[in-house]
Structure 1
Amino acid sequence: MKRMLFAVLLLAVVSARAEGFRFALMSDLHVTADSLAANDLRHAVDQINATPGLSFVIVSGDFTDYGDDASLRKAKAILDGLKLKYYVTSGNHETKWSESGATAFGRIFGSDRFRFEYGNYLFLGFNTGPVIRMAEGHVAPQDVSWLEKELADYGTERPVFLVTHYPMMKGDVDNWYAVTDAVRKYDIRAFIGGHYHTNRLADYDGIPAFICRSTLRGGEPFGGYSEFEVTADSVIVYERKIGAGPQRWGAYSLKDTYFTADTAGYVRPDFSINARYGRVKETWMTPIGNAIYSSPVLCDGRVYVGDDLGLLNCLDAADGRLLWRFAAKNRIIGTPAAADGTVVFGSADGNIYGIDAKKGKLRWKVETSEAVLGAVTIDGGVAYVGCSDRTFRAIDVRTGREVWTFTGTNGYVETRPLVYDGKVIFGAWDDHLYALDRSDGRLLWSWSDGRRGMHYSPAAVWPVATAGRIFIAAPDRVLSAIDASTGRTLWRTAESTVRETVGLSEDSSKVYSKTMRDSVVCFSTRGDRSEKLWASYVGFGYEIAPSMPQEKDGVVFGSTMNGEVYALDASDGSVLWRHKVDNSLISTVVPLDRNRCLFTSSAGIVGLLEAR
């Protein structure tokens, strides 16, 4: 009798968990060292702790405003005050702006994915990017594979909730369809997340979704959060303002069927441009299997590419065949450089590596105290690279010996340095551009446009220079010309809304930049004022990716955040061809001649395009 009674009680508890439970969701915390956001989060934690009947808490991204380690630790310290177990995944503010290369989040919170079961339900949360590069959200190939495996192991007959920061929709996540297609054959009850700081019901290719408010107070005295109730037949969401009772604002039935496995009728990326320019062929396409955020590097018939799992991949430039891989201990964000038989790259594992270019074996390693996200420039046997430990390094390529170091930056470095006129020039995420003496690393000058704040930093752009002038474009949508000797501003123009992209013509008479809407512009590098030489309507749409225009043999090559590569006539900007590889970020391409270019995609593809 005792055993039967225990079994009955246990069944009752399990049934109650399965058919009636509540949980809290917090999103878009935006904690910084000196803001009201931390207080808003504390109020939310206190109210959740004082609310009876909740089973757990989910936090769906944007823990911080600037993605910095200190703010992440501060947010965690507040969240650790919760009496309930909480589960987390990161947001774009942890991945786009991150001195650790979006690795501190996992180190501080344990992971940016989660999986747990509660009653009959499975909860899965995962990162939606983008990582470091400005672009739409992106679910990395390795995360899609993880999601597919977890769902396959769980089965098709049991209900699932999916948690993401970004809405899984066109215009938010570039490969939203890869996720919705992968999950729709399973019993997905709803997606849950935030990002828009508002309450909204949505559907992701027919799959129900809740988009929830921020913990921030906005224009009200206090902030708030969301509370979900799962009943036998419904999932209901309430807004919980601090100091107020629950206010229901949305629900979905757990009995109704909202979607099927059929994908017909849903919007998908448009590849029709490829038929229009049919002479462009994909000579070879090599799937790496992991997201790629660095550009390809060509040296002696080989292509070198760093990826999101920390692998340096070496491919044959003729056919894309993978020749070897070298494994660092964390992701590679910055573009490598190769010279003198050595490939040099930095990793978020806090090391700078020198690798034998033919054999893929370690030659030397320089340890730093933080992640290395900067692209590498090699000039005269010396590799130049910036790190997140606020140190810029010059390293002997042959031996790995540090030639000199500069410790004067107040932000991490992402860009590829420019070596010009005896100077090493680079920007950092501290709103400054720096010029160092190439021989000893002394600071010669630093430049700022006068506005403070990291979002004004010329940090993602790769500077170019000619005739004593340096050209940059920052997130402020302004093209700037700076005196290379003094750091004095020569001119600035905002007429074309360019963003974080510049490229120099082969004859150095022109500078190219990509605008945020459909076009590429060309300015003269001469004269005391800005002079636009041409503007070309390319038609690539809204655009924010920091991929640099590159000229080769009179053709300007460029790329976009939505998978397109284009070629323009350098003399007047007329469009020669366009080709859509996929729908994800294409980093700065490498032209081989006027008809061919190498590219990498955040979808994990390395390839060679040729206009025949």
Structure 2
Amino acid sequence: AIGTGAVFAVANDNTLHGMNPSVTGGQWPQAAPYDWRPMPMNGPAHQRPPVVPVSLAGANLVVFLGSEDGHAYVVDGYSGAPLWQSDALATMITASVAGQFTAFNGDYDLLFVGSRDAGIGNVMYGLNLADGSTAWTFDDGGAAIGIIPSGATVDYANNRLYFASWEYAVGASTMWCLTFTDTGATLLWERALGSIDGAPILYDGRIYVGTNTGEVHALDPATGASLWGGPFVTADGAVKGFVSPAYSALPRRLILATCTTVWALTDSGASVSQEWQQPGVAGPSIPLDLESDGIFVGSTDGRLYQLDEATGGVTSSVLLGDGSATIGSPGYDYFNSMAYVGSESGAVFAVTLPLP
């Protein structure tokens, strides 16, 4: 959600949807400056679309998507009109689109998105914001990068790009750092951590990333060196989405979910330890951490759960729909103090936070 304006969501119907926020919302945004119509694509988008207040082709609110049809899309956030569609970049794109913008003191106006091509080497693309043309590509010199399933993280200060991939072959690199300009990208470092579905997070001089085998790593952003004696091992399947730092906690607290458990870890600098674990939420989603207001997690049992950040205890939950559909990861609207969360039934729910 952007202020009182709109909530954007994607679904398996190949469409970018826009909805009014707040307790009376849900309809298409039509009040000025909005004149919204859903934007169709030739394939579904799989990850939450970034929405950025930048000026582009007459639009002042822009939505960015990567689609299963292999294209990146840029859409007017007020009308739903497509501003441009990239050339076919891959058989499929499942990653979200990342960006650097001069409007936010970046050196360049670039978008970044990775390919999802099975059986061949994959590519990280740098696209020109103005028209979607390809500014550069990175394929590790042809040395086969595995599928790039998730979005990249941009370091504005150093013009670095961090992204994760699957293994192309056993023991191949899966965590990557590039330095970039508007005309090219150069490999700074790479690490072989095992296949990774999620996205790396840059926070407070560290890269946090979780792997598909349930390991959590902290890496030096400049060198890729491990900052702990070894990774934290959850032994509970893949880390979902990303590792979320609690921004006001000292020492650093990290929140994440695996197949059956929500975790809080303490990063003490040179080591990591478990703070708590909560196995009582069935099939937890990527957590939304609002710190003192709680941690919010969707579940395969049709409920949205609220956890105490200090202990991980369940403090409340709410049934969404009839309880038969899995509830996804919530997004937060700070203006209206609401969470918006999708379900496998195709419905989007708005919930006032914190829960009663």
In the TM superposition, residue 384 of structure 1 has moved relative to its aligned partner by: 2.2
Name the residue aligned to 1:429: 166
Q: Distance in 1 between matches of 2:44 and 2:312?
A: 36
For 2:187 and 2:329, how far apart are their aligned partners in 1? 29
Counterparts in 2 of 1:589 and 1:605: CA distance versus 1, 3 Å: same
Separation in 2 of the partners of 1:536 and 1:549?
12
Q: Judging changes above 3 Å, is the alpha-carbon distance between structure 1 residues 606 and 316 closer, same or farther for their aligned structure 2 residues?
A: same
Give TM-score, length-normalised by structure 2: 0.77
Structure 1 565/507 Cα, relative in aligned 2: closer, same or farther at 3 Å? same
**CA offsets 1:219-249 (integer angstroms, 9 cap, x no match):** xxxxxxxxxxxxxxxxxxxxxxxxxxxxxxx
Matched-pair identity in %: 19
Q: How does 1:508-519 map to 2 (within 5 A)?
A: 509-517=252-260, 519=261
Residue 404 of structure 1 corresponds to 136
Task: List aligned pairs for 1:371-382, cutoff 5 A.
Answer: 371-380=92-101, 381-382=109-110
2:86 paired with 1:366: yes
AA aligned to 2:86 is V
Shift in Å, 1:476: 0.9
Kindly indicate which of the two structures has a greater share of residues assigned to helix: 1
Q: Return the alpha-carbon distance in structure 1 between the equivalents of residues 188 and 324 of structure 2.
A: 42
Shift of 1:322: 2.8
Instruction: Please give the residue correspondences for 1:145-544 in structure 2 after superposition, counting only pairs within 5 Å.
Output: 298-300=1-3, 301-318=5-22, 319-323=25-29, 324-339=37-52, 340=54, 341-367=61-87, 368-380=89-101, 381-389=109-117, 390-408=122-140, 410-420=145-155, 422=158, 423-430=160-167, 432-439=174-181, 440-449=184-193, 456-458=194-196, 460-490=197-227, 491-495=230-234, 497=236, 499-501=238-240, 502-507=243-248, 509-517=252-260, 519-537=261-279, 539-541=280-282, 543=283
Provide the alpha-carbon RMSD of the alignment: 2.5
Residue aligned with 1:461, SS: coil
Report the Cα offset of residue 553 of structure 1: 5.1
Check 1:414–1:560 CA distance in 2 against 1; reply closer, same or farther (3 A cut).
farther
Q: Using the alignment, how far apart are the partners of 2:100 and 2:298 within structure 1?
A: 26
SS in 2 for 1:446: strand
For 1:565 and 1:438, locate their aligned partners in 2 and report how far apart those are by CA, in whole Å: 40
Code of the residue aligned with 2:21 in structure 1: it is A
Counterpart CA distance in 2 for 1:561 and 1:443 is 40
**In structure 1, what residue type is equivalent to 2:8?**
Y
Answer 1 or 2: higher relative contact order, Cα 8 Å, separation at least 6: 1
**Structure 1 residue 579, shift from structure 2 partner:** 2.5
Superposed displacement of residue 562, structure 1: 4.0
* Cα distance change on mapping 1:567 and 1:465 into 2, 3 Å: farther
- For residues 499 and 355 of structure 1, the distance between their equivalents in structure 2, rounded to whole angstroms, comes to 32
Count of residues paired in the alignment: 303
- Provide closer, same or farther for how the CA distance between residues 307 and 516 of structure 1 changes in structure 2, counting only shifts above 3 A: closer
Q: Displacement of 1:573 after TM fit?
A: 2.5
After TM superposition, the structure 1 = structure 2 runs for residues 561-576 of structure 1, keeping only pairs within 5 Å, are: 561-576=300-315
Tell me, in whole angstroms, the C-alpha distance in 2 between the residues paired with 1:532 and 1:428.
26
CA radius of gyration, larger in: 1
Give the residue type in structure 1 aligned to 2:309: A
Distance in 2, Cα, partners of 1:526 & 1:467: 13
Alpha-carbon distance between aligned partners in 1 of 2:307 and 2:15, rounded to the nearest angstrom: 33
- CA distance in structure 1 between the aligned counterparts of 2:208 and 2:79, rounded to whole angstroms: 38
What is the Cα deviation at residue 558 of structure 1?
2.1
> Which consecutive unaligned segments of at least 5 residues does structure 1 have?
1-297, 450-455
2 CA distance for matches of 1:580 and 1:481? Answer: 36
Structure 2 unaligned blocks of 5 or more = 30-36, 55-60, 102-108, 168-172
